[in-house]
Amino acid sequence: MNPDLRNLIVLQDLELKIAFLQKQISEVPIKIDSHQKELQQLQAAHQNRTSHQQELGKQRRTQEGSVDLMRARLSKLRDQLMSVKTNKEYTAMLHEIKMAEDEIRAEEDKVLEIMEQMETLETELKDQTGALDKKVAELEVEIRKTESSIPGMEAEMAKLREDQASMESLIESELLSRYRRIADARRGIALAEAKDELCTACHVRIRPQVLADILYTGDILVCDSCSRILFSRETR
């Protein structure tokens, strides 16, 4: 293989690794923000369930207070029943007592409904607390891990840039400029492998003569379709 072409291949590999690391580093704040938002959502959801349970407790106490007042009123009505003098008053008092008893039963049913909701919610909270604590711990570890990955990636990228500079010094300036122009126009991919008679970048068939020249002459040739510099790992 043409030594210049071999150097270009190494250079492109280095630059693709650098671009990959740059992308990873740029995505770190996004990943951390995503983890933090998920963490906040989980904690907010748990807090909402806890607040709901507390609200149900308040409703239960209010409802039980109402029942106590109704029972006190019912007790007074029963006491008054003993002092009525006519059948009409007695019947009216019985009706009022019956209404008070019905109201108490209705309020007691509401208390039972609240208690059932509280029991269900308490079970859910117990079941979810362990899972929540585990998930929160995992997210916190992931946040720290993501944050701590930056220095290592930056050090690796610095080493790759040194290798990049060393490789650039081995390539003739005109060829390097040509490589840069193609890379700028083709999203950083200036070289493409010729394989199975195709350009692996644009998948267009390579002319037989061009393919033969790539295999046997070592000349710097480009794809007729995408203008990338072609190379073959099967060069004779």
Same domain, 13 and 92: yes
Same domain, 118 and 147: yes
Q: Which residues, at least 6 apart from 56, have a Cβ–Cβ distance to it below 8 Å?
A: 114, 117, 118, 121
Same domain, 26 and 125: yes
Same domain, 122 and 197: no
If one counts the domains in the chain, the total is 2
Boundaries of domain holding 46:
3-171
Q: What tens digit of pLDDT does each residue of 103-137 get?
A: 999 999 999 999 998 888 888 888 778 788 888 88
**DSSP character at residue 234:** T
Q: In this structure, what token pair is assigned to residue 230?
A: 């072609």
Same domain, 182 and 154: no
CATH code of 27's domain: 1.10.287.1490
**Torsion of Cα atoms, 133 then 139 then 143 then 145, to 10°:** 100
Q: Does a structural domain hold residue 127? A: yes
Same domain, 129 and 206: no
Q: What tens digit of pLDDT does each residue of 25-47 get?
A: 999 999 999 988 988 888 888 88
Q: Does a structural domain hold residue 8? A: yes
Q: Does a structural domain hold residue 16? A: yes
- Which class for 199: exposed (0-12), middle (13-18), buried (19 or more C-beta within 10 A)? buried
**DSSP character at residue 86:** S
Q: Does a structural domain hold residue 103? A: yes
Q: Does a structural domain hold residue 236? A: no
Q: What tens digit of pLDDT does each residue of 65-103 get?
A: 999 999 999 999 888 888 888 888 889 989 999 999 999
Same domain, 26 and 111: yes
